[in-house]
Structure 1
């Protein structure tokens, strides 16, 4: 591999324009493919086969009206006063216009709904009043009838039975029969009215207009499932409402409506990139050299992201997926080019010819880049074994971004270096000749006591930081996690304030009946099941949505007492699932769907998949590192360090995004559960990045040890040789990831923080503090490898030591040769 990369580097340097044109064509093809074949990206995440997905699929077939995606629009009077009749009429007119939009199935006008509810309530109360009045008349009639019957019976007893008396009794019997019929009719009417009252009582908290009259909620039902609603349809809804909004009224939209297509290039990302550029300028001392890694990274991101988005027309892809690829591509793309650039500059300063230096840098540091990228790529591709489609696609797209970054680093970097020549070095103070490589102070080793202190202090700090992870809860973002000035946040908080927390996450509960109900039996069945559902803990309101034609599937909307991510709602979902309710001698089995239910299912599925994935990644890491470092202890130390970094990063994320620490700094308006796929994603990404730094630091130790330095001295020499470039690379990666902490997309923010913080603790605490101390205490044992294993392992020569010996350059040659 090293020899191949050496030749590739020299070829790219000599045929620079060929390489540059080839990459420009690749970018043009990727962008063209996106424009030609790109489709709509989903704003929601689903996992086939979960209980929620099964119920949703059934509803598509049994009751399509209950399977369409929904979103809410919150209308609110700016001054907090009740909405006027004119404002209500204007809102209703606007909603009728929205109802006619393409992609919208129906719109629930809050005022019509509230009016119908009030009308139904009045009808029920009037009906019950009539029943009471009818019963009073029946009672009076019964009293009169009973009195007449007593008189007739007394007459028969005194005078005996006569035809006239018998006729009187027969007439009284007929009157009694008529009264009984009227009583039966009244009872049936009363029962129906009481059932209606029960339904109205159960749905009392399902208000569409607040008790103050200042707020109204309109529900927009789309004709497609949530994940299939196009951004164009959502935009048409918001534009229509905003254009016709009456004066004095604001309209805020739920996250389901505002979630749209991917957007890159926000202020946060730009700031992160600017910090990375500043670090490069400080490190290289020249704008030309600093711009090279950034240019390469942007090129790689353009190819990878455009290529990934071209698949969105044929593959269901979430809008987070290409952003994750961009995040990784930027971070590693800068770092990988920097590693090769750093080696090349060091060789130029030592007096090596330009083209030879490029080839050698590509064969040594480029070789390390390939192996480092391979670890990240393997970890990301391993996400496919989780059995979770959207996560597997994230891993695959991320792996593609890494692969492109590696290819750009080992081809485009040599090409640009070939064009730039010695201009990558600062003009002043440029050392030349062999002396440039030999200057510096003698390396000192740490003491055993210092090593122990470093280990104890480092592990102690990471353990404390990791403590919050023990209380970590998983979920998906809601409107509460959006920026405080966003319409989604206002919609969520206003709904919670005016209508209760549960109104933001209603559940869809399906009752399966063994015996179908229809006609006059339907309402009584709905009322009875609704009454029983109201008796379940953590339920605030229940309303029937509909039933299938056979009457074997009854669907209800259930409003929980807590919000969609609360523990009480999670308990309610588990409580309802599998519960059976009694109905006329047979049972009704319940199942649950809805966004809150889907969130719970996805979180549990991811939690179940995490241990297997973590074991797979750790197992693969041990095998790779044993081959790379030809050691047993070093891979164990490296992997243990990764686990420390992982839990510390999870602890930091939990403290900020779930506990709310430093919420004002990181834009956390309302703390909540951690993004449910974040821990699994972190395992793959952070492991690969951690192994990057482990590789670049430990390979220097291995190289020094192989050249005859004592084990402890080799540790110090390796750290000294690699700490500058690793420090710069880590700061750059932290800056790039950190820029995404302030992304406009809620799901990206904790990912950006987790990766930035994970790289911070891994690079500076684990790799440059704890690992060298452990290696120092281990001494020669750190490099122990059984002889039988040493014989069968391939020699990957990750740092290209054999390549350097084979292509040795006399650095004492005249300066003219060095300039070639």
Structure 2
């Protein structure tokens, strides 16, 4: 890439770079041959949609983590447990509306046989055969159906087969609900596009009111939709080969639609400004892509790098979510850099022919944003401290964040998994929805020469039932081959309660080693709840690693682009502050319950274990978007004028309108997903929406300009040795930006 920042005069900005460079050539070619570019995108889009329909995959949550205690315990059960303990278990809850379940004995048995005949069913335990599976009043019970694979990943048509198997029960007056992974499979299809329509509708209003031009509203929308549909189709094809969580496509829509609108809007606004001085619309489009397109390219790479940093978690589920979001981000950037200049070239100088009010683009001197920059320049310390205090107050709740898993009890009552959860909780107690399975491996030599196996089972049972937090436990029983002892533990509390997490750690760290270690035996906790606890512990431990990787990658990229250690460090620190503030809002709303009822959540819930990690990667990348948009204009003016105060003022004024409108659009896109019935999607929507608002207002309009005014010309200081090491993305620029006389450098002794 080449970027020269020469202009006709030192005082005039926006005239564009010298001709040449890869991005300049891309912009010129697309604008000069618009119909070819449009045709190519149309073919790509139709081919992607057709491939999605033919070969697209499905999405399912899979929290399995190889090597963890829960995974090891599950593997042991598969190897030694027999059909009754193998595979993935799901509950089918039944409740007699009149009388007890024994009145429906014949149909319960028939339904059990039909369930056992289902494809991929390994075993079926009927409530009539398992006394612990029926409540004391005899009205509520459950089947335990074990499948070869996770049923949440089956085709939706599988639910119809299950419905057929239990239809006789329903006809007999028995309520039937599906729990666990089978309940996930039975969730209503996410066909409601209300959230997307709200986001698009808000974007139209904001763009028309903010810029007046119909083209300024229509071109970004068209580009974003094309990029989004292409990216979603590509994601569906990836889902046919790799596993992605159920939230992956929704997250991809949120990201793809938001950044696609932002990137194209940034280009359209700059193009309409350059039309005043360029020789032709094609030349204006070429200069737009060479300047603002460079910012878009860097911004999209920054977001993608942040999302790729999720692989540092070492958890496939998390890394795959980053891939899902990154797919639509890259598709949106590709559409913005090629389709947008094609549309601008097609429109020519008539780009503002249709308008709802007097069209506006980047402002000239004297407008409200220049006056705002002047206000900050007069009192930089005041605005810096004001912004820091505001972010600090919002960040306070983040200190009490509790990670966990949002159980089915927080799902809408329209979901069968929620109704199954409530039936189990009402009949068996809240802890019955979060049962733990204890798997014990035996040392045969020591078990025969020391305490007998039965004695060990008795000792373990006695210890389990007297452990605080345990509602009940089953006596450990031996598998057929004698290799394992297996027991069930029912907590006092539900699966998303902190007390259940404490119990899992108490059993794993204290109770099991105390009883089993002297006899040469080893105990493992397994089951869905134990797997979720392992998942939570791993993510909590690796969050600092992900933060470090993402921040380091962003620092290197910013250093390479802007050639300034202080600018890169300032951007990273301020982004970390805004992210922490958004975490605080998340804790206050969902964990403390401040307003959850307004969001359609009828109870306080823990912060889903993977949400902070996902939010960090996404928010850090999006924050860098606006940072790059702003700093690109500041640096462009600095290279022209060598006047730091003027550069900050022009950069802030030139990008304030587009950043504000882009933030309004992205916030509306995110917050529209609060209408989702998925609590985790609500968390992501609120957290991302709040972070964008804070970033576009407090950070970008207060903290960044105030800090840059205070740092002065030291903003652009870089040690010459570091300048030589870093690759250059703008070879026409000076090899090393000198430190002007009088500038204060952080470490002058290190500059050579």
Report the TM-score, using the length of structure 2 for normalisation.
Answer: 0.86
Kindly provide the CA deviation profile for residues 268-322 of structure 1, in whole angstroms up to 9, marking residues without a partner as x. 3332232223222323434444232222222222222222221333323323333
Q: Map Cα deviations across residues 436-481 of structure 1 (whole Å, 9 max, x no partner).
A: 9678576562266732222222211211211111111212331022
Does structure 2 conserve the Cα–Cα contact (< 8 Å) formed by 1:348 and 1:432? no
- Tell whether the 8 Å contact from 2:80 to 2:483 is kept in structure 1 after alignment: no
Mapped contact 1:349–1:437 kept (Cα < 8 A) = no
Question: 1:419 aligned to 2:438?
Answer: no
Alignment check: 8 A CA contact 1:576 1:590 kept: no
Aligned to 1:628: 561
**SS at the partner of 2:667?**
helix
In structure 2, C-alpha distance between the alignment counterparts of 1:785 and 1:95, rounded to whole Å: 73
Moved more, 565-574 or 427-436: 427-436
The answer on 1:700 being equivalent to 2:633 is yes
Match of 1:725 in 2: 658
Of 91, 98, 106, which residue of structure 2 is paired with 1:72?
A: 91
CA contact (8 A) 2:281 2:349 kept: yes
Name the stretch that deviates more: 263-272 or 409-418. Answer: 263-272
Counterpart residue number, 1:6: 24
Deviations 1:230-252 (A, max 9, x none): 54434432454367514665333
Distance apart, 1:486 and its partner CA: 3.0
Q: Do structure 1's residue 511 and structure 2's residue 529 form an aligned pair?
A: no
CA distance in 1 between partners of 2:612 and 2:68 (Å): 20
Aligned residue number for residue 705 of structure 2: 772
- What is residue 382 of structure 2 aligned with on the other side? 453
* 8 Å CA contact retained: 2:213, 2:359: no
Aligned to 1:571: 502
The structure-2 alpha-carbon separation of the partners of 1:684 and 1:248, relative to structure 1 and needing over 3 Å to count, comes to same
> Contact 1:351/1:432 (CA < 8 Å) preserved in 2?
no
For 1:350 and 1:496, the matched residues in 2 are separated by 70
Instruction: Select which of 119, 134, 149 maps to 1:224.
Output: 149
Instruction: Output the CA distance in 1 between the equivalents of 2:269 and 2:241.
Output: 41
1 CA distance for matches of 2:542 and 2:518? 41
Mapped contact 2:59–2:248 kept (Cα < 8 A): no
Question: What secondary structure is seen at the aligned counterpart in 1 of 2:444?
Answer: coil
For residue 356 of structure 1, report the CA deviation from its aligned partner: 1.6
Give 1:265 deviation, angstroms: 4.7
1:740-751 to structure 2, matched below 5 A, reads: 740-751=673-684
Matched residue SS, 1:445: helix
**What does 1:572-587 align with in structure 2 at a 5 Å threshold?**
572-577=503-508, 579-580=512-513, 586-587=519-520
- Per the alignment, residue 209 of structure 2 pairs with 282
CA contact (8 A) 1:273 1:739 kept: no
Judge conservation of contact 1:627–1:795 (CA < 8 Å) in 2. yes
Residue in 1 aligned with 2:461?
530
CA contact (8 A) 2:208 2:356 kept: no
- The answer to whether structure 1 residue 551 and structure 2 residue 478 are counterparts is no
In our comparison, the structure showing a higher alpha carbon Rg is 1
Check the 8 A contact 1:36/1:310 in 2, yes or no: no
Q: Is the 8 A contact 2:491 2:500 kept in 1?
A: yes
Query: 1:418: how far off?
Result: 2.5
Structure 1 runs not aligned, ≥5 long:
115-206, 803-820
In the alignment, is the contact (CA less than 8 A) between 1:694 and 1:767 conserved in 2?
A: yes
Q: Is the 8 A contact 2:601 2:679 kept in 1?
A: no
SS of equivalent to 1:245? helix
**Partner SS state of residue 657, structure 1:** helix
Aligned length: 705
CA distance in 2, matches of 1:359, 1:584: 72
SS at match of 1:250: strand
2:391 corresponding residue in structure 1: 462
Matches within 5 A, 1:260-271: 260=185, 263=190, 265-271=192-198
Correspondences of 1:396-795 after superposition (within 5 Å):
396-427=323-354, 440=367, 443=371, 445-446=374-375, 450-515=379-444, 526-543=457-474, 547-577=478-508, 579-580=512-513, 586-708=519-641, 710-790=643-723, 793-795=726-728
Contact 2:212–2:360 (Cα < 8 Å) also in 1: no
Structure 1 pair 252–266 and aligned structure 2 pair: CA distance change class (3 A): farther
Asked if the contact 2:259/2:666 (under 8 Å) is kept, the reply is yes
Counterpart secondary structure, 2:641: coil
User: Which of 116, 119, 127 is matched with 1:99 structurally?
Assistant: 116
Pick closer, same or farther for the CA change 1:449–1:264 going to 2, 3 Å.
Answer: farther
1:568-612 CA distance string (max 9 Å, x none): 222222222262465899454311111111111111111121112
Distance 1:265 1:278, change over 3 A: farther
**Post-superposition CA distance 1:739-774 (Å, at most 9, x none):** 223223343221222211111111211111111112
1:100-119 equivalence runs, <5 A? 100-114=117-131
Gap change, CA 1:89 and 1:725, over 3 Å in 2: same
Q: 1:274 to 1:432 in 2, by over 3 A?
A: closer
- Per-residue deviation, 1:104: 2.4
Q: Secondary structure of the equivalent of 1:370?
A: helix
3-state SS of the aligned residue for 1:319? coil
Go from structure 1 to structure 2 and tell me whether the alpha carbon gap of 1:407 and 1:632 turns closer, same or farther (over 3 Å shift). Answer: same
The answer as to whether partners of 2:404 and 2:609 remain within 8 angstroms in 1 is yes
Q: Quote the Cα distance in structure 2 between the aligned partners of 1:230 and 1:523.
A: 44
Q: C-alpha displacement at 1:647, in angstroms?
A: 0.7
Matched residue, 2:320:
393
1:326 and 2:253 correspond: yes
Using the alignment, how far apart are the partners of 1:572 and 1:429 within structure 2?
Answer: 63
Which stretch shifts more, 42-51 or 708-717? Answer: 708-717
Rounded Cα–Cα distance in structure 2 between residues aligned with 1:283 and 1:545: 69
TM-score (norm 1): 0.79
**Aligned residue runs from structure 1 range 270-419, under 5 A:** 270-348=197-275, 353-419=280-346
Q: 2:9 maps to which residue?
A: none
* RMSD of Structure 2 on Structure 1 (CA): 3.2
Post-superposition offset of 1:226: 5.7
Paired residue secondary structure (1:446): helix
* 1:75 shift after superposition: 3.1
CA contact (8 A) 2:310 2:318 kept: yes
CA shift in 2, pair 1:585/1:711, >3 Å: closer
**Contact 1:349–1:436 (Cα < 8 Å) also in 2:** no
Q: Which string of whole-angstrom CA distances, capped at 9 and with x for unpartnered residues, describes residues 401-454 of structure 1?
A: 222221111111112222333443144699899999678576562266732222
| TM-superposition CA deviations, 1:199-224 (whole Å, max 9, x none) | xxxxxxxx433334443333332233
Q: In structure 1, how many angstroms separate the alpha carbons of the residues matched to 2:218 and 2:306?
A: 29
Distance 1:422 1:483 in 2: 52
SS in 2 for 1:367: helix
- Match among 131, 140, 157 for residue 215 of structure 1: 140
Say if 1:350 and 1:432, in contact at 8 Å, map to a contact too: no
Answer whether contact 2:578 2:694 (CA < 8 A) is retained: yes
Moved more, 308-317 or 336-345: 308-317
Distance in 2, Cα, partners of 1:733 & 1:582: 55
Unaligned ranges ≥5, structure 2:
3-20, 735-752
SS at match of 1:558: strand
The correspondence of residues 196-215 of structure 1 with structure 2, limited to 5 A, is: 207-215=132-140
Specify whether residues 585 and 689 from structure 1 end up closer, same or farther in structure 2 by C-alpha distance, changes over 3 A only.
closer
